[in-house]
Amino acid sequence: MIYLKTDEEIELLREANLIVARTLGEVAKFVAPGVTTLKLDEIAEAYIRSQGAVPGFLGYGGFPNTLCISVNENVVHGIPSSQVLQEGDIVSVDCGAVKDGFNGDSTYTFCVGNVADEVRQLLKTTKESLFFGIEHAVPGNRIGDIGHAVQEYCEKRGYSVVRELCGHGVGKHLHEDPDVPNYGRKGTGPLIKNGMVIAIEPMINLGSKNIVIERDGWTCRTKDRKPSAHFEHTIAVHNGKPDILSSFKYVEEVLGDKSI
């Protein structure tokens, strides 16, 4: 069942998503060699609670932390730990927050110091594919049009698209219908309508598309251990066009000319 949101609900979702956006901006200040992923998690939880919100991921399905932090070959759902970030790493930070009963959800993949050019290009392409996919989230299109746009953009540049994981509807629940794959055929899938709120989140690999789940039951990594990038926005289909409810503005203000 796809729940179409009212204008009022969209504004509540925007508020939750902007808390997530500002949280990612706070995390951005501390992403550097020598920092543990658990430290980033602590910073995020403190900031979310300071905004009168609660972490959206903490306890969700048993997940033990506020952030999903996935380093290098880890695609998604990495658990914050004593792992220390190293020069040249990339780190995907997926954040959720709940405010007034509505969820925010967004992801940014950061460079840790100086990153190899081929890996930086992976991040750039993944981020660009997100916005290319968003352009197709208009009434009258179908969900498959979004996935096709992302897939074509990335595969033409030599990257592979993870199949087992996808975007999703967002509302009072973190994951709602419809699923939003990052691959697919034009003209397939649910019809896009005004009032739909979805998270679009390309997960793109430098090597093979194949993934495995680690023994912790959460961490998903590339089978060939090559790097993976992940960027995500929550958007509303509103007044006939996509309205991005989350934002990378706060991250990019921190990163400046080092932004992807």
pLDDT in tens, 62-96: 999 999 999 999 999 999 999 999 999 999 999 99
67 is written with which tokens?
């952030």
Helix (H, G, I), strand (E, B) or coil at 26: helix
Note the pLDDT tens digit of each residue in 142-156.
Answer: 999 999 999 999 999
Q: pTM of whole model > 0.95?
A: yes
* Distance set, CA 222 to CA 121, 159, 207, 209, 226 (Å): 18, 13, 8, 7, 6
CATH of the domain at 44: 3.90.230.10
Is residue 2 one of the residues assigned to a domain?
no
First to last CA, the chain: 36
Note the pLDDT tens digit of each residue in 172-193.
Answer: 999 999 999 999 999 999 999 9
Distance CA 208, CA 210 (A): 5
- For residue 260, pLDDT beyond 90: no
Task: Domain count for the chain, please give it.
Answer: 1
Is residue 133 one of the residues assigned to a domain?
yes
Distance CA 188, CA 186 (A): 6
Is residue 157 one of the residues assigned to a domain?
yes
Q: Beta partners for 70?
A: 92
Distance CA 199, CA 168 (A): 5
Is residue 36 one of the residues assigned to a domain?
yes
Residue 189 gets the label, from left (phi > 0), alpha (psi -120 to 50) or beta, of: left
Structural domain of 14: 7-258
Is residue 125 one of the residues assigned to a domain?
yes
85 is written with which tokens?
């970030």
Is residue 190 one of the residues assigned to a domain?
yes
Note the pLDDT tens digit of each residue in 108-136.
Answer: 999 999 999 999 999 999 999 999 999 99
Helix (H, G, I), strand (E, B) or coil at 252: helix
- The three-point CA angle 7-10-15 to 5° equals 130
Is residue 1 one of the residues assigned to a domain?
no
Is residue 130 one of the residues assigned to a domain?
yes
